[in-house]
Structure 1
Amino acid sequence: MGKPTLLIVSMGELGTSFLEAVARTEIFETIVVGSRDLTKAQQRANNALIGAGLEGYFPQITAEHLDVAGPDFATKLKAINPDYIFSAPSLLPWWKVDDSKVQLPFAGYMALHLSLMAIFRDKIEAAGTDAFWIGASFPDVINAVLNRTGFGPDCGIGNVQEPVAKIQSGIGKTLRCNPQDVRVQLVAQHAFEYFVLGDATNNDLPPYLMKVMVGDRNVTDLANHVLRTPFPFPYDLSFNRVTASAGVSAMRALTSPTQTPVHLPGIGPLIGGYPVMASSADIEIDLPPEWSMEQAIAINEASLKWDGIDAVEPDGTVHYSHKTREALHQLLGQRIETLSIATAEAQAKALLSAL
């Protein structure tokens, strides 16, 4: 059996960083770069091909004209017949927003992601492909909204996985052990990493569950100290490289014939991120026996307020927090209390106009 085929759709900064990272691995035999701008797709594909080749990797990287708004998207997607699809679309990426002028909680920007991801959902479903879909646009919540309203991504990447390396590195340095021997199990939602990857010492963190072992030794107390240690971090375009590396870790697990430990956000209808055992066959939540699944779900849902969300209903309706509602009112001049598939496009248009 040959290696799988990956399709990357929407070539923004994260998609490009992920392409460059995954091309420098042995995971995929073929990588298809899809974009509505074929010239851009060809340039990104060729850049990755040369860079990967210089490091000794030569997957087949091709460009394809793919416009999610076009009538032939589903037909072309079916013809490509990928094993895995990666998408991270946004109508306005975070790095283009001037935070000094716009003070919105993260949830306030959700419509800019959800409106496009809803279109992707419909077109991917129409293609009838059996591909595994990685949705990387605020997966901790967007993926849940999509899956609670029909077809949706299988999982996301990043977020919960990204603080793990800080924990492993810190434990390894303190105990003088191999960081790879540090086993971390972390339940956390998107907002968590912004409090543990940064300059400040943070004792007030979003809710989380964590267990850290080195062999038979429980070092969770030490790991909690490591989490709160100042860690200057560049929240600029370089951050996409970190998320791309988390994507490579995820793809190694998701394409493996045997179960591999990793952390994944946005698994089906679940809010937030979890430790899992993943393989090409399935994703299995991997909690320590002392944690219940109900407890883990409650922790991630309690963390939503840190992103400006009060709750996400079983039908996918997002209820904004008071802070988010007030910020949206100040920016848009209208009262908006919720977000849903039905209202995402209108909210996104209003945000684009204001921003």
Structure 2
Amino acid sequence: MSRREAESKPLIMLVGMGDLSARVLNMLLTNTATHRVVLAGRDVEEIRKRANLARFTAANLGFFGDVDSVSLDLQDIGASAETLARTKPDIIFMGASLQSWRVLTTLPRATFEELDEAQFGPWLPMHLTLNYQLMQAVRASGIETKVVNAAFPDAVGPVLDKVGLAPTIGVGNVANIMPALTHGYAHLLDVHPSEVELRLVTQHYFSHYVPRFGDAGRGAYHLSARAGGRPVDPPVDHAEVFAQLGGRLKRLGGVDGQLLTASSAVRVLTGLATDSGVLAHAPAPGGLPGGYPVRVGAAGGTVDLDGSLTLPEAIRINEECQRADGIEGIDADGTVTFTEREMAIMKRLIGYECRTMKLGDTAEWAKELGHKYRAFARRHA
């Protein structure tokens, strides 16, 4: 491929070079449609080394991508806007948060399981804060770009949508459970997994709960299935499918599980880069709450429901499941109300309580939550 041909490909910026973004980078560089990448973070020397490792790994496989690195501190919105205006990425992958979800999984098992009862909603400030800063920088930069968010997109998207700053689409969560559900259906129907096409509407709670416990818990959802191009008739018992995820289809989680999230991200990023219209599952397309089946093209993700569900019904299901995840509701100005039950667990265990959070206060709440959690983790080390 000539340099001119390479430069005609979309430029994908990866923001935040943690484990997830590193895995995404490796996958992007083995596809000529997505191998024009720039890494953005505070430690330019470290991310340059990361870029070179990925570049050389891809070269071993016969792929020669274009990888650059730039300095970006999301907390400096003005400087970030200048960097974005200068770099002009076509697509931004947001992999940064103030505290990764997997930090909790490093706690002793019994401690983690007790804290996990608070669900994920109360941790929203850790994922919303940097996304809010990034989207303000995108607006100030004046560039046209698509933003793909990996940090609790189910809730971050609809909060930022209230102020016109929603990322284009999210990744992970609803997408992460789809391969196992597909294999579960295929096993029960005695068909090849490639013959199974599922459409699932649900929020993060469901995709976190089912693989761990083999049932849906308190999670609202809507799941429809086709096999060989036809609706599955008679319907398969969902309980039989879900039970497999806690048994024969149980997978590694934690850091190892990031590989699955990375693959869901690359499916979406490739759809955006190639305008393919690929069927995927993704959270928060266009700022909607929770996750949906979508067709991914250059403009983003378009919700692709079958005739068994309308979009308003899908939104209602996701908002109901969101309450099981600890978020009672999101007001028109982006103010978030957290559920009493889940926040009571946070207060009892780590001494943190936030029942209502205004968007402009998210950084302060994140600071307090981080301080309280670190003290808690030290006590249980």
TM range (shorter): over 0.9
Cα distance, 1:160 vs structure 2:
1.0
C-alpha distance after superposition, 1:147-196 (max 9, x if no partner): 11222201111111111111222233444433222111111111111222
Name the counterpart of 2:156.
Answer: 142
One-letter code aligned to 2:51:
A
Residues 1:23 and 2:18 aligned together: no
C-alpha distance after superposition, 1:264-300 (max 9, x if no partner): 1112231001111221134321111231111111100
Change (3 A) 1:218 1:167: same
Residues 1:85 and 2:92 aligned together: yes
Cα distance, 1:333 vs structure 2:
4.5
Looking at structure 2, the residues matched to 44 and 170 of structure 1 have their Cα atoms a distance apart, in angstroms, of 37
Looking at structure 2, the residues matched to 203 and 147 of structure 1 have their Cα atoms a distance apart, in angstroms, of 28
One-letter code aligned to 1:226:
V
Residues 1:166 and 2:180 aligned together: yes
Of residues 225, 228, 240, the one that matches 1:212 is 225
Residues 1:296 and 2:314 aligned together: yes
What RMSD in Å do the two structures reach over aligned CA positions? Answer: 2.1
Looking at structure 1, the residues matched to 281 and 192 of structure 2 have their Cα atoms a distance apart, in angstroms, of 20
Residues 1:53 and 2:59 aligned together: yes
One-letter code aligned to 1:35:
G
Looking at structure 2, the residues matched to 347 and 187 of structure 1 have their Cα atoms a distance apart, in angstroms, of 30
Cα distance, 1:315 vs structure 2:
2.4
Contact 1:86 1:133 in 2 (8 A): yes
Q: Say which is worse superposed, 206-215 or 254-263, in terms of deviation.
A: 254-263
Change (3 A) 1:257 1:325: closer
Looking at structure 2, the residues matched to 174 and 301 of structure 1 have their Cα atoms a distance apart, in angstroms, of 30
Of residues 177, 180, 205, the one that matches 2:191 is 177
Of residues 51, 74, 82, the one that matches 1:75 is 82
Change (3 A) 1:335 1:34: closer
One-letter code aligned to 1:354:
K
Number of residue pairs aligned between Structure 1 and Structure 2? 354
Change (3 A) 1:205 1:180: farther
Of residues 246, 259, 268, the one that matches 1:250 is 268
Cα distance, 1:88 vs structure 2:
2.2
Instruction: Show the 5 A alignment for 1:1-355.
Output: 2-70=8-76, 71-97=78-104, 98=107, 100=111, 103=115, 104-198=118-212, 200-202=213-215, 204=217, 206-219=219-232, 221-222=235-236, 224=238, 225-229=240-244, 230=246, 231-330=249-348, 333=351, 335-355=353-373
C-alpha distance after superposition, 1:307-328 (max 9, x if no partner): 1111222322211111232134
Q: Say which is worse superposed, 219-228 or 181-190, in terms of deviation.
A: 219-228
One-letter code aligned to 2:250:
P
Contact 1:157 1:243 in 2 (8 A): yes
- For normalisation by structure 1, the TM-score amounts to 0.93
Cα distance, 1:223 vs structure 2:
6.7
Contact 1:183 1:212 in 2 (8 A): yes
Q: Which runs of 5+ in 1 are unaligned?
A: none
C-alpha distance after superposition, 1:39-84 (max 9, x if no partner): 1111111111122222222211111122223442211211111110
Looking at structure 1, the residues matched to 368 and 314 of structure 2 have their Cα atoms a distance apart, in angstroms, of 35
Cα distance, 1:37 vs structure 2:
0.2
Cα distance, 1:332 vs structure 2:
6.0
Contact 2:216 2:242 in 1 (8 A): no
Q: State the secondary structure of the residue aligned to 2:181.
A: helix
One-letter code aligned to 1:318:
V
Looking at structure 1, the residues matched to 145 and 68 of structure 2 have their Cα atoms a distance apart, in angstroms, of 18
Greater fraction helix: 2
Change (3 A) 1:161 1:332: closer
Q: Which runs of 5+ in 2 are unaligned?
A: 374-381
